[in-house]
Structure 1
Amino acid sequence: MIFNRRTITKLLDLVNLQRHNDNYADIQTDLTNHEGRITGAQSDITTHKASTAAHPAEHVTYEGEIIGAENIKEGLDIIKTELDQAIISGDSGPEAAASRYNPFTGVTHATLPDRLNEEWEQTATQLAENTLRVGTEPINILYPPPPMVGAKGDNITDDYNAIQNIFNSAPAGSSIYIPDRSFRLTNGLTINKNIRIVGSNIQDDRQNLIPLSGSIFNFDASTSIGSAIECTANGIYIENLFLNNVSAVKSNVQIGISILPFIGGVVFNTSLTAVWVSGFGTHGIYGSGVLVSKFDKVFASNCVNGFYFDNPTLNGTSIYMSNCWALRCTGYGYYFYKYYYMSLVSCASDDILISYVFSDCNTIVMSGCGSELTKHNHIDLKNVTEFTATGCLGYNGNLLNEGNNGASFLSADNCHNVTLIGCKDLDPAFGNVSIYSQYPMVWINCDFPLNAYVNNAGYNNAPDTIFGKVVNVT
């Protein structure tokens, strides 16, 4: 800015004239200085607009409640000092004293760090215990831990994907809980690791063979799916579960539970307890190459075959069945091919084509088993060595009247070392004989009202002649 000074030349008071002229000179100097400062301020504003850097806290005026702070940085420094005093060194102020007190335990700690350290250790211990429980407590399929998604269990929603994902995601050795619900599935499940599946107690309509309550899987398949549950691992355990085939075409679901070879053509340590399978197209329970396994209170109804075990490659061994039941099947109640060292205890077979079939087996024991309304033989042996039946009962056998070779109680074709102890053929329907065998047998305290046909020669004695005695038939 330029100031045009005008020199006063009029005749005035010379003293005042000089003073005015000096003032004009000072004003011009001040205006020039202001012009420089305005230009610098404009430059600072332009630079500030273009800048993205924050101003230092020291340059920001502080107007808060912290005593002694003139800018933001000093305020923050004071807060940090106070926090360090309260947390690290302890503080005698009322707020710090309150924080040192734990209302849940009633303990007042010396310093806040003492309380924090103790609670951290307790929390770490609890987290470790919870981590262990995750692998031991059952996973509820309605409310599994994330990221698993729970099943609905409303018998309407297709729960296949949810349940199969839980089976896949559960760690080996874990337990999966099936609540008292009905689950609809349109596809078969696969279990490929050693897990425990535990449901609720089954309540059923025994007369109509339908489930009333408990853990129920209703399989509703529109296409063929093979097995409702396929087990392909050692150590699988299933308890308290009803598998029901409700498909419009029953053959769409061929098998209730299949137990298939895992490694080397065999599978170990399978256990089924209180399991019911009903309405499947071929087998209720199917096993191939099963070793060292247990089946207790397993029911198979309205299938072609109740229990069907074979061995296409190796012999199965050490199978134990107790309190099992095959009911209203159009084929076999129990069928075993190439199995060694197995026991059936207190098992039952009702309204079946042939109740118990053993083929190419060795060392078989039946104890306290029963068979009713069998259309052919109660017990059918083929190429069996070492068979013993103790306290077994046959009622209404050979309903189709097969003649001589269709024995009512037992037929043994090419079998050796067959022993019957305390067995009874009660009220046979048809047939000329209770027992048919090609080779010698041992009877001990048995009651067979019909004749025995043994060794192609015929052995005909009244019941009281053989009852209560050891008889070697040759």
Structure 2
Amino acid sequence: MADIEIIKGADNGNPPDTLRQMYPKVNRNFQRLNSEVEANKMEADNKLEAHKNSTSAHAAQNITYSGDIIGASNVKQALDNTKQTIDDLILGSGDSGPEVAAARGGHATLGDRLDASDAQVVELEKKTDSYIDPREFGAILDGENDDYAPMQAALEASLDQGKELFIPGKALLSSSLMITHGTPKIRGAGVGLSALITKNNIPLLVFDTDSSQFYYSSVTDLSFVGDVAGDRSNNAGVEIRGTSSAKNFFNYNTFENLLFKGTYYGIRSTKSSGEPENLLNWNLFTQIKTTNYGVNNVEHAIKFEFGSGTGNVFDACNIVSMTSGFEWGGSGDENIGDITISDCQFGGGGSAIKAKKGATAYGSNITITGCQWDAGIQYSLDFLNMNGFTVQGCNWGGATSLKLEGCSNYSIHGANSLESTYGSMKHTPSNATTDLFSLAFNTSYESAYIEIVTFGVLQGVGTRISRNAFLIGYDGSTISVNTVKEDKTGTSGNQINHTTSQIGNAIKISAQLQGGSAGDTLIYSQLNVIGNRYNVVTM
């Protein structure tokens, strides 16, 4: 309360103040009162504002409401209804309505669903950070516009950052995508969704082994389309390129779930080491598919032009090609062998599996199981100078025959027809009988027509030897060659008809040299068999 000065006078029992004394007191009293009023007003304003902002100044039941309340008779009831609505939308786990139930998406509450969605977004961000998307570099991926520049930029970024290159669409390329370093991992969204396409006579994707060696790379879930008019001889889906001057390895790489449409080559290796071993080792080719694109056929599904390397596996492939399915060799003398082929199907034309080894290189250890050769295939196997291979559990469906030249030490089960030129090579001492082939019939009542033609080579001079003919030896002696059956029955000579009704009954075809000096003579044989369900083993 304001401190008021008393104006003395008769009413308060004091001698009265003079006017001079009274006026200052009056002014001071007015000032004190005004100051107190102003202070009280400020305090009241602050209290009022605090009251307005308070969440607990009044209990809800004491709040009055004027006017009509929709769906309630008072404020409390209206608030209770609002709370229940919110509970039903967010907090409750029961079905409070079909729209709300659907919004929960199987979660107890909508909040739970939002939490799960947030977690998925975080996980997606992590995954997105692990790969490169070429659209971030300007690729359109519609299969119509040239995406070469942004695709190459994206590829380089993936190699430099050690990330996967993910291709979610179809990229038209005017030039080859070049891989010169790193450990490339290239993945599409699936063979029907992602593709590399070209209208030019180029390989689409190139591993340059002159620039780098490649370990543990992968190309998966992608199509390669060759829409090339005119010359297509350089068009390949994937090319492994390298000259003999670079001794770089291409090891432990994976090619999986790839479709090649209309490319002249599916996968082509022009890599050469200039050495017996071609340094392409332990790679996996699985779920490879080749087919035509309009008038463009795939001529070679997988072709290694300079040897095979070692330990490569080909599995579960569906091949339609016109010249060769799988092919090794033909352009050099690198080794071919240590190959496993399983559960593959071949159609189209030409040779399904072809291996042409040079005269001095190693060519052995090829295992082929569970494969099928369909109509149009001329030769299921087309081998030259291969030594030691096995074919088991295959279906010769539409394949015309096998062609084996200069091959030895092989086992083939279930072939329909076998053409084996120079099928066995043996050094034969004087007056000895050399076993050439053993044929084991493994089903009752099977028959085959067998023709044996023998050749003799003496001191590097080759001459065909027919029955009862003579070859003049180096020392002037005469050597005669006869072919005989093991049991010495029937007609000995070049043609033997054999029919068996006993499972496992076998005949053995042998050649016998007669003469005084045959120590430098080699016997070469050709075996032609027409029949089915038999086993051919060189001795």
Name the TM tier (shorter chain): 0.5 to 0.7
Aligned partner of 1:342: which letter? Answer: I
Contact 1:250 1:279 in 2 (8 A): no
Partner SS state of residue 164, structure 1: helix
Q: Which of 216, 220, 223 is the aligned partner of 1:239?
A: 220
Q: Which of 304, 311, 320 is the aligned partner of 2:306?
A: 311
Aligned partner of 2:230: which letter? Answer: V
Aligned to 2:197: 218
The Cα shift of 1:470 comes to: 6.2
1:348 is the counterpart of 2:345: yes
Aligned to 2:145: 157
The Cα shift of 1:253 comes to: 4.8
Specify whether residues 271 and 199 from structure 1 end up closer, same or farther in structure 2 by C-alpha distance, changes over 3 A only: same
Alignment deviations for residues 221-256 of structure 1 (CA, whole Å, 9 cap, x no partner): 2xx43x111113413210011000112335175222
Contact 1:436 1:452 in 2 (8 A): no
The Cα shift of 1:273 comes to: 0.1
Specify whether residues 434 and 159 from structure 1 end up closer, same or farther in structure 2 by C-alpha distance, changes over 3 A only: same
Alignment deviations for residues 159-195 of structure 1 (CA, whole Å, 9 cap, x no partner): 111111111122264211111x222111111122311
Aligned to 1:166: 154
Aligned partner of 2:206: which letter? Answer: E
Partner SS state of residue 241, structure 1: strand
State the distance in 1 between where 2:502 and 2:420 align. 16
State the distance in 2 between where 1:466 and 1:318 align. 39
Specify whether residues 216 and 333 from structure 1 end up closer, same or farther in structure 2 by C-alpha distance, changes over 3 A only: same
Alignment deviations for residues 85-131 of structure 1 (CA, whole Å, 9 cap, x no partner): xxxxxxxxxxxxxxxxxxxxxxxxxxxxxxxxxxxxxxxxxxxx99x
Alignment deviations for residues 316-336 of structure 1 (CA, whole Å, 9 cap, x no partner): 111100011320x33112211
Aligned to 1:412: 404
Specify whether residues 183 and 435 from structure 1 end up closer, same or farther in structure 2 by C-alpha distance, changes over 3 A only: same
The answer to which structure, 1 or 2, has the higher relative contact order (CA under 8 A, 6+ apart) is 2
Aligned partner of 1:141: which letter? Answer: P
Q: State which drifts further: 370-379 or 349-358.
A: 370-379
Q: Which of 127, 140, 154 is the aligned partner of 2:133?
A: 140
Specify whether residues 469 and 450 from structure 1 end up closer, same or farther in structure 2 by C-alpha distance, changes over 3 A only: closer
Aligned to 1:294: 284
Q: Which of 393, 396, 399 is the aligned partner of 1:397?
A: 399
Specify whether residues 134 and 380 from structure 1 end up closer, same or farther in structure 2 by C-alpha distance, changes over 3 A only: same
Aligned partner of 1:230: which letter? Answer: V
Specify whether residues 467 and 190 from structure 1 end up closer, same or farther in structure 2 by C-alpha distance, changes over 3 A only: farther
Specify whether residues 151 and 443 from structure 1 end up closer, same or farther in structure 2 by C-alpha distance, changes over 3 A only: farther
Aligned to 2:323: 331
The Cα shift of 1:461 comes to: 5.0
State the distance in 2 between where 1:294 and 1:467 align. 39
1:451 is the counterpart of 2:452: no
State the distance in 2 between where 1:350 and 1:293 align. 24
| RMSD, aligned α-carbons | 3.1
The Cα shift of 1:154 comes to: 1.5
Partner SS state of residue 218, structure 1: strand
Aligned partner of 1:336: which letter? Answer: W
Q: Which of 189, 195, 206 is the aligned partner of 1:200?
A: 189
Specify whether residues 471 and 419 from structure 1 end up closer, same or farther in structure 2 by C-alpha distance, changes over 3 A only: farther
State the distance in 2 between where 1:323 and 1:141 align. 30
Segments of structure 1 that go 5 or more residues without pairing to the other structure are 1-128, 144-148, 203-212, 399-407, 426-432
State the distance in 1 between where 2:351 and 2:499 align. 25
1:87-98 map, 5 Å: none
Aligned to 2:164: 175
Aligned partner of 2:287: which letter? Answer: K
Specify whether residues 320 and 172 from structure 1 end up closer, same or farther in structure 2 by C-alpha distance, changes over 3 A only: farther
The TM-score with structure 2 as length reference comes to 0.51
Segments of structure 2 that go 5 or more residues without pairing to the other structure are 1-121, 272-277, 292-296, 330-334, 358-362, 425-435, 455-482, 484-493, 511-539
Aligned to 2:205: 229
Contact 1:435 1:454 in 2 (8 A): no
Aligned partner of 2:388: which letter? Answer: E
Specify whether residues 297 and 134 from structure 1 end up closer, same or farther in structure 2 by C-alpha distance, changes over 3 A only: closer
State the distance in 1 between where 2:135 and 2:499 align. 60
Aligned partner of 2:289: which letter? Answer: F
Aligned partner of 1:220: which letter? Answer: K
Partner SS state of residue 142, structure 1: helix
Aligned partner of 2:406: which letter? Answer: N
1:268 is the counterpart of 2:251: yes
The Cα shift of 1:373 comes to: 2.1
Aligned to 2:261: 278
Aligned to 2:12: none
Q: Which of 358, 366, 371 is the aligned partner of 2:368?
A: 366
Aligned to 1:436: 420
The Cα shift of 1:151 comes to: 1.3
Aligned partner of 1:161: which letter? Answer: A
Aligned partner of 1:165: which letter? Answer: A
Contact 2:450 2:498 in 1 (8 A): no
Specify whether residues 442 and 370 from structure 1 end up closer, same or farther in structure 2 by C-alpha distance, changes over 3 A only: farther
Aligned to 2:101: none
The Cα shift of 1:307 comes to: 1.5
Specify whether residues 467 and 332 from structure 1 end up closer, same or farther in structure 2 by C-alpha distance, changes over 3 A only: farther
The TM-score with structure 1 as length reference comes to 0.58
Specify whether residues 139 and 397 from structure 1 end up closer, same or farther in structure 2 by C-alpha distance, changes over 3 A only: same
Partner SS state of residue 335, structure 1: strand
The Cα shift of 1:345 comes to: 0.4
The Cα shift of 1:277 comes to: 1.2
Specify whether residues 378 and 247 from structure 1 end up closer, same or farther in structure 2 by C-alpha distance, changes over 3 A only: same
Partner SS state of residue 283, structure 2: strand
State the distance in 1 between where 2:184 and 2:440 align. 45
Aligned partner of 1:413: which letter? Answer: E
Alignment deviations for residues 257-292 of structure 1 (CA, whole Å, 9 cap, x no partner): 1123495154222210001112123x2211233211
Contact 1:284 1:306 in 2 (8 A): yes
Specify whether residues 454 and 367 from structure 1 end up closer, same or farther in structure 2 by C-alpha distance, changes over 3 A only: farther
Aligned to 2:390: 388
Q: State which drifts further: 291-300 or 334-343.
A: 334-343
Partner SS state of residue 373, structure 1: coil
Aligned partner of 2:240: which letter? Answer: I
Q: State which drifts further: 236-245 or 332-341.
A: 332-341
Aligned partner of 2:299: which letter? Answer: V
State the distance in 1 between where 2:311 and 2:340 align. 8
